[in-house]
Amino acid sequence: MTVAAALVATSALSLASDPANAEMNWKAADGQTINLMLISHPFVESLKPLLPEFTAKTGIKVTYEELAEQSGFEKLLADLSSKTGTYDVFMTSPLNNWQYAAAGWLEPLDGLIANTDKTAADYDVNDFIPSILSAGRWDLTPLKGIGEGSLWTLPINFESYQLAYRPSLLKKLGLQVPKTYADLLAMADKLAIDGPNGKMHGIITRFDRYWDLPYLTFGTMLQSYGVEMLDKDGKLQICSDKSIAATQDFVTLIKKASPEGAGAFTWYEAMQGFASGQYVFSLNEANLFAPTYEDPKQSAIAGDVGYAPTPLGPDGKRAAAAWIWSLSMNSASSHKDAAWLFMQWVTSKETMIKTHLAGNMNPVRKSAWDAPEVAKLMESWGETPGQYIQAAKTEAEVATIRFPPHPELTRMLDRWAEAIQKSYFGQGDVKTNLCNAQADIQKMLDE
Amino acid sequence: MFLRTLAQKLALALCYLAFAGFVLFPLVWIFMMSIKNFGDIIAYPPRFLFTPTLENYVEVLLGNDAQRAGGQVPDLLKFLMNSVIISGGAVLISALLGIPAAYALARRRDKTSDKLRFTFLSFRFAPELAVILPLYVIYTRIGLYDSYVGMILVHQLITLPLMILILASFFRDMPIEIEEAARIDGARIWTMLTRIVVPIARPGIASAMMIAFIFSWNNMIFGLVLAGGSTRPVTMGILQAMTFDQIKWGMMAASAMVSALPGMIAAVLFQKQITRGLTMGAVK
């Protein structure tokens, strides 16, 4: 297309839509190619078929690499740290971005969003769920300033944590869905039952020895007990009374109601174990597993699974961690305009809804939660109509990132996870392990 | 007497059977996994009786519904093709360079050649991770990243030392008298290599190439870092069955079966050469 033709086309378009936005031109980077780093995820499956639409709309060709999470982040780190700019846009999370942003590898996005030449008038950044969008903001001050400063990333989905259960088994056992962790602890002994394929267990949960343990699933329990990593004065709370109580309850729960080997369960064991029908509860699991459970081709429990909000802590408090997948732009990219067009296209209302319908859970835009076709998809999930939506919404109200932003956070959380694991495996008591971890983490903070 | 030998034979047969079972069980297990649906794969206890399905193979070989509708080439076939080009190219170049090099090393036996041999050997146990990041930067700067040429070049680190080491010891076992006779007839070194040594050593060369090919085929780390979307080898491709929340075991098993095929086919085709190569000296 010639420049003149492009001008005619865009002015015609802008006349038809919004004269105030006469300058925004989807064809501004016509003919360029951008390269993405994508992590294998239902979002990516939902995105791939839509890419030709983007190319047709903008004339920008999209190439991408799709890798498993670990190898993807390794390769991304190699590229970002060498500033070669191989990837213009990549999938990431606020947590990873504390490292990337501090190193200057990310392009701040506020200027682009505010620029009416580069951003469509109907983009509507205020339509994002505020807490999820602001998790991508950080002013680069270690340990504080999350939600402040520059926006480094745009969310594409989020996961929070919930309780999944088997209605038929609870009925058989004569038990109710637990409202509090104390309720769950009280029934832990009674959950061992004989199934059609041998002994079944009460609870499956993710329990591996990495940062995700105090951050995600058990993190949700910790936070419900009122545990924060740092208190208001910046002092570590890892071996506080609340943290010790939560860890003791968790270890007891898993020892009573989980099979041997539970101390090494990753998402893979957790999700497939529950889907194969060997467990009564899946504790604080990622709520975006539901599409798999509900699919009879992938799960043995389709039609017999219920969802409930995570149990309440001792003070009747509910809290939940959140993981947010998002898109960020490489500051070493040589196609920043094209990259921005791509990012705003993916996170636009229209494209987001299309990805949700193809399995990208959970929506990060309010308009997507309200979209009738998205609501209809989730309506049937659960023991009763709308149960999943209700549970997910309850969690979304409290889900947030409660950890202090720090480039080395994952290293600290790894140490914390080690202390929890040691306690489970009977190497020392909970209090000593947690206090030792706290001392080590304090050293990392002082470095 | 007869009974005793029969018993012995039976025992021996049982031993063979047990050994074959031990060797083949993982392969059989992966094959079974590749023809199960997800529910059967994650079933506990493991199921030996199930309704087999070709779904995994269909998805791996023909692509998923969206890809089929879009007329796209399925990912695994692309990755397989990439692996064939990379490993095949790497082995061919290694053969061209490695045969003369191995011949020289075999026939020139002094301290320098010993040092050279050791240097080549050291490429085999040098950790790939130590060179991979600098290589990544260099490759992206000079445009070799995600290119077949770049991948074939870096795979020389795997294939060339193997070719040289295997062939050098092979050439050394060849009786030098043949070459001396040829030299008396006036053959120069190049003629000797191309007309006499290589034809005699053909089985050895074939088996060395085969081994180098398999090592190159199985490499993953170069594919992870230096290959991008367009040259990714099959070892990386199989990993795509690992998503963030679950492993698509069925697809992974089917991909593994399909990707193991070229190696198996090559092994069968070259079987005669390989067994000769592995068992013979030059003119026994």
Q: Which residue has the higher pLDDT, B94 or B200?
A: B94
Inside any domain, residue B65: no
Of A64, A267, A272, the CB nearest to B229: A64
Contact indicator for A94, A400 with CB cutoff of 8 Å: no
Cβ <8 Å between A49 and B145: no
- pLDDT at position A12 is 41
Q: How confident is the model at residue B173 (pLDDT cuts 50, 70, 90)?
A: confident
Inside any domain, residue B123: yes
Inside any domain, residue B207: yes
CA distances from B270 to A279, B166, B221 (A): 51, 17, 28
B70 Cβ under 8 Å from any chain A Cβ: yes
Instruction: Write down the mean pLDDT value for chain B.
Output: 85
B136 interaction partners in chain A (CB closer than 8 Å) = 78-79, 82, 84
| Mean pLDDT in residue range A412-437 | 95
A170 Cβ under 8 Å from any chain B Cβ: no
Inside any domain, residue B43: no
Distance CA B195, CA B181 (A): 13
Q: How confident is the model at residue A136 (pLDDT cuts 50, 70, 90)?
A: very high
- For B142, name the nearest residue in chain A, comparing CA atoms only: A84
A303 interaction partners in chain B (CB closer than 8 Å) = none
- pLDDT at position A22 is 54
B245 interaction partners in chain A (CB closer than 8 Å) = 41, 267-268, 271, 286, 288-289, 292
CA distances from B3 to A30, B6, B9, B10 (A): 85, 5, 10, 10
Instruction: Write down the mean pLDDT value for chain A.
Output: 91
Q: How confident is the model at residue B1 (pLDDT cuts 50, 70, 90)?
A: low
Q: Is pLDDT above 60 for A7?
A: no
- Number of CB pairs < 8 Å for A and B? 93
B39 Cβ under 8 Å from any chain A Cβ: yes
Inside any domain, residue B68: no
Cβ <8 Å between A276 and B141: no
Of A71, A79, A289, the CB nearest to B245: A289
Which of residues 172 through 231 in chain B touch A, CB cutoff 8 A?
224-225, 228-230
| Mean pLDDT in residue range A426-443 | 96
- pLDDT at position A10 is 39
- pLDDT at position B122 is 84
Inside any domain, residue B14: no
Q: Is pLDDT above 60 for B281?
A: no
- pLDDT at position A245 is 97
B38 interaction partners in chain A (CB closer than 8 Å) = 297-299
Q: Where are the beta strands (DSSP E) in B120-225?
A: none
Cβ <8 Å between A84 and B236: no
Q: Cα B282 to the chain's mean position, in Å? A: 25
CA distances from B56 to A116, A230, B34, B77, B251 (A): 48, 48, 6, 14, 5
CATH number, position B110: 1.10.3720.10
Cβ <8 Å between B66 and A49: yes
A11 Cβ under 8 Å from any chain B Cβ: no
Q: How confident is the model at residue A370 (pLDDT cuts 50, 70, 90)?
A: very high
- pLDDT at position A5 is 40
Cβ <8 Å between A82 and B136: yes
Distance CA A436, CA A239 (A): 8
Contact indicator for B7, B233 with CB cutoff of 8 Å: no
Q: How confident is the model at residue B276 (pLDDT cuts 50, 70, 90)?
A: low
pLDDT digits (tens, 9 = 90+) for A322-332: 999 999 999 99
Inside any domain, residue B47: no
pLDDT digits (tens, 9 = 90+) for B26-35: 889 999 999 9
Q: What is the largest CA-CA distance in chain B?
A: 76
- pLDDT at position B154 is 94
Number of domains, chain B: 1
| Mean pLDDT in residue range A90-115 | 95
Inside any domain, residue B61: no
- pLDDT at position B278 is 61
pLDDT digits (tens, 9 = 90+) for A17-43: 444 445 789 999 999 999 999 998 989
B275 Cβ under 8 Å from any chain A Cβ: no
Cβ <8 Å between B246 and A288: no
pLDDT digits (tens, 9 = 90+) for B174-192: 888 888 888 888 888 888 8
Q: How confident is the model at residue B241 (pLDDT cuts 50, 70, 90)?
A: confident
A350 SS3 class? helix
Cβ <8 Å between A75 and B43: no
Structure tokens at B144: 């070799």
What is the DSSP code string of B55-114?
HHHHHHHH--HHHHHTTPPPHHHHHHHHHHHHHHHHHHHHHHHHHHHHHHHHH--SHHHH
pLDDT digits (tens, 9 = 90+) for A249-291: 999 999 999 998 898 898 888 998 999 899 999 999 888 899 8
Q: How confident is the model at residue B64 (pLDDT cuts 50, 70, 90)?
A: confident
Residue-number span of the structural domain to which B160 is assigned? 73-279
- pLDDT at position A3 is 39
Distance CA B189, CA B107 (A): 11
Structure tokens at B200: 């005699």
pTM for the structure as a whole: 0.82
- For B45, name the nearest residue in chain A, comparing CA atoms only: A197
Cβ <8 Å between A297 and B236: no
